[in-house]
Amino acid sequence: MGITQQNSLSSGDGAEDKPPLPPNSNDDIRDLETAKNNNQHIESVKDKDAALEGVDPSYIKRLKRRIDLRLLPILTITYAVSLIDRQNVANAKVAGMEDELGLDIGTRYSVALLVFFAPYVIFELPSNLALRKVGAALWLGGITICWGATIIGMGFSTHWTHLVVCRILLGVFEAGFFPGCVYVISCWYTRYETGKRLSGFYLGSHIFSGFGGIVAAGLKTISVKQYHGWRWIFIVEGIFTLCCGVAALFLVVDFPQKAKFLSQSDRDIILTRIDADREDANPDPITWRNILQPLKDWKIWSFGWNSLVNLIISGVYTYFGQAILLSMGFSLDVALIMIFPSSIFAVVVGFIESIYSDKWRLRAPFIILNHVFWIIGAALVGFTVPKASRLLGIFLIVMGSQANYPLVIVYQTNNVRGVTKRGVAAAIQVGLGGVGGIIGSLIFRSQDAPQYIPGLVTAMCLSFSVILNCCFTSYVFWRANQKQAAGTLKKPLEGLESFRYTL
């Protein structure tokens, strides 16, 4: 008996019908036809094709749009808040925190910055596993409330060690949010629908977080008795984070099997589409074997390397973009303004790339292209003199790293099958990205200003290593797909005869 559709997109029970399938099928049905044409697990595909009979593609499109509106906005806004919360320590530093807490003594400020990363990396995998057990809304909303309370605590610090403790706790609580979001989004969509959605989530968050500096500039002017402006940066932004966490408890969408805002027939449509794509709609049990097995898969570490390098090369504009612009003769105000349009440029390019990456079902070529742009940009910044060429280099550096990260993530999610394995892979990839953030903050040294030649050369070599890695991985995937089609593999790819790697 096939899946039927609701006459409307309401979550309540209502009259159901089975309108005939129109002749112009959409991507969902085309996926099934492609599988049949390639003789990929034909009997299973026929069963799923029959299950989708009577579902109008326009209805599926409206259903996906409804899921988008419920799933993506709250995750995007809350992740933007997490980015602001991480960055506000730098804003508070120049607003008086450094003098009041004695952070200008020795390496205290550097210690306060770096202690965030160790727990952030360590707790990502346990957090993703807990998310499966607890549920997306409760877990993501709960950890957001916890780190919001921690941010408020930073505003009441009276000694630099208090700030260090709060930064450690911030790393613990924030560790699970980004990989958790990637995990949840990947569970709702087919493999070639995730690219533009992950890009919208990631790049949109960075646009919103760009206003954090403006907000901090206003908050630092507040002074109430002993609570100077830098404290209000933490207190007010912490309260806003708490509000986002409470909202997340009610607005974050759980996994498809438990989505209360959908009717049972709509949930069946979503799960059937996912099964038609990769046959892992129903989660596998969380066991030590299922947790440890992905650690033996070379692909996981290959994708992790791409993430690590991407966060390293992001360090150019994250830590020294303004300094480079100042060295070119721009004023501080202009330098601050110039970073924003370069980020907007990266967002536009990144979203366009994600659309065509989904459409053409290719990931590695776009990643390679962005790294080529990044290397060109780094060469212009480090080895040319004209202001125009160095400014162009800044734009290419920002675009090459920011636009690339969603593609790096979706390259992994497309080529890993199994709910637990995908959760482990996401945690490892984002965790290694956190390690890359630490390295990126260290290889671009202040003493190498204004050209930063040693750091740029190191990053260019690492960027080229990702190009080689993507070429190698794509070739291995292509050969594996050929063998799978010919039936010469001892075991099917990812345990599924109809599975094909995404290049």
pLDDT for residue 336: 61
pLDDT for residue 73: 93
Residue 6 has pLDDT above 90, yes or no: no
Q: Which amino acid is at 147?
A: W
User: How far apart (Å, rounded) are the C-alpha atoms in residues 420 and 32?
Assistant: 25
Q: What contacts 461, CB < 8 A, 6 or more positions away?
A: none
**Three-state DSSP class for residue 248:** helix
Mean pLDDT of 396-405: 90
Q: How far is CA 385 from CA 175, 399, 449, 458, in A?
A: 41, 21, 14, 20
Residue 24 has pLDDT above 50, yes or no: no
Q: How far is CA 289 from CA 118, 180, 281, 295, 377, in A?
A: 26, 21, 20, 10, 44
Mean pLDDT of the chain: 82
User: How far apart (Å, rounded) are the C-alpha atoms in residues 131 and 138?
Assistant: 8
Q: Where are the domains of the chain?
A: 58-280, 301-478
Mean pLDDT of 249-274: 88
pLDDT for residue 378: 92
Mean pLDDT of 324-351: 77
Highest mean pLDDT among 194-208, 237-251, 256-270, 317-331: 237-251
Residue 207 has pLDDT above 90, yes or no: no
CATH of 301-478, one of 1.10.3720.10, 3.40.50.970, 3.10.150.10, 1.20.1250.20: 1.20.1250.20
Mean pLDDT of 80-96: 81
Mean pLDDT of 376-385: 89
The pTM of this model reads: 0.79
Q: Which residue has the higher pLDDT, 439 or 459?
A: 459
pLDDT for residue 326: 75
Residue 7 has pLDDT above 70, yes or no: no
Which tokens sit at 452?
């930063």
Of 64-73, 316-325, 471-480, minimum mean pLDDT range = 316-325
pLDDT for residue 47: 44
User: How far apart (Å, rounded) are the C-alpha atoms in residues 408 and 302?
Assistant: 11
User: How far apart (Å, rounded) are the C-alpha atoms in residues 1 and 360?
Assistant: 33
CB 234 within 8 A of CB 112: no
Mean pLDDT of 377-400: 89
According to CATH, the topology of domain 58-280 is Growth Hormone; Chain: A; (1.20.1250)
> Matching CATH topology for 58-280 and 301-478?
yes
pLDDT for residue 332: 61
pLDDT for residue 319: 62
pLDDT band at 318 (very low <50, low <70, confident <90, very high): low
User: How far apart (Å, rounded) are the C-alpha atoms in residues 82 and 63?
Assistant: 29
pLDDT for residue 37: 39
pLDDT band at 40 (very low <50, low <70, confident <90, very high): very low
pLDDT band at 228 (very low <50, low <70, confident <90, very high): confident
Largest CA distance in the chain: 76
CB 69 within 8 A of CB 215: no
Mean pLDDT of 335-350: 79
Residue 235 has pLDDT above 60, yes or no: yes
Mean pLDDT of 197-205: 89
